[in-house]
Amino acid sequence: MTHGEPPYTLAIEGATYRGSVALLRGPDVVCERTLSGDDGGASRVGRGERLMPAIAECFAEAGLERGGDEIARIVCGAGPGSFTSLRIAGSVAKGLAVGYGVPLFAVSSLLLGVSGVKPALPPGEYLSVLDAMRDEFFASQIVYRPDAGEYRAAPVRILSRADLEDFRAREKVARVVGPAQDIDSYPHARGVAAVLEHIVAAGPVDLAAWEPDYGRLAEAQVRWEAVHGRPLPA
Q: 123 phi and psi, to 5 degrees?
A: -55, 145
Q: HEC profile for 146-182?
A: HHHCEEEECCCEEEEHHHHHHHHHHCCCCEEEECCCC
CA distances from 120 to 40, 104, 107, 127, 173 (A): 23, 26, 18, 16, 18
Q: Pick from 77, 59, 78, 61: which is nearest to 69 by CA?
A: 59
User: What is the C-alpha radius of gyration for the chain, rounded to an integer number of angstroms?
Assistant: 18
Angle between helices 51-62 and 83-100 (to 10 degrees): 40
Q: What is the largest CA-CA distance in the chain?
A: 60
Taking the C-alpha atoms of residue 73 and residue 9, their distance in angstroms, rounded to an integer, is 5
Cα–Cα nearest to 19, from 57, 47, 56: 47
Distance CA 64, CA 50 (A): 19
In this predicted structure, what is the pLDDT of residue 4? Answer: 58
Contact by Cβ (8 Å): 137, 166: no
Q: What is the per-residue pLDDT for 48?
A: 61
* Predicted pLDDT of residue 6: 75
- Using CA atoms, how far apart are residues 68 and 62, in angstroms rounded to an integer? 13
- CA 105 – CA 93 distance, rounded (Å): 9
Per-residue pLDDT in tens (0 to 9) along the chain, 234 residues? 445 567 899 999 999 989 999 999 998 999 999 997 443 444 454 446 789 999 999 999 999 876 567 899 999 999 999 988 999 999 999 999 999 999 999 999 999 999 999 999 999 999 999 999 889 999 999 999 988 889 999 999 999 999 999 999 888 778 999 999 999 999 999 999 999 999 999 999 999 999 999 987 555 545 544 555 665 465
Distance from C-alpha of 100 to C-alpha of 69, rounded to nearest angstrom: 8
Query: What was the pLDDT predicted at 224?
Result: 44
Confidence (pLDDT) at 40: 43
Domains for the chain: give ranges and CATH numbers: 8-116+186-228 (3.30.420.40)
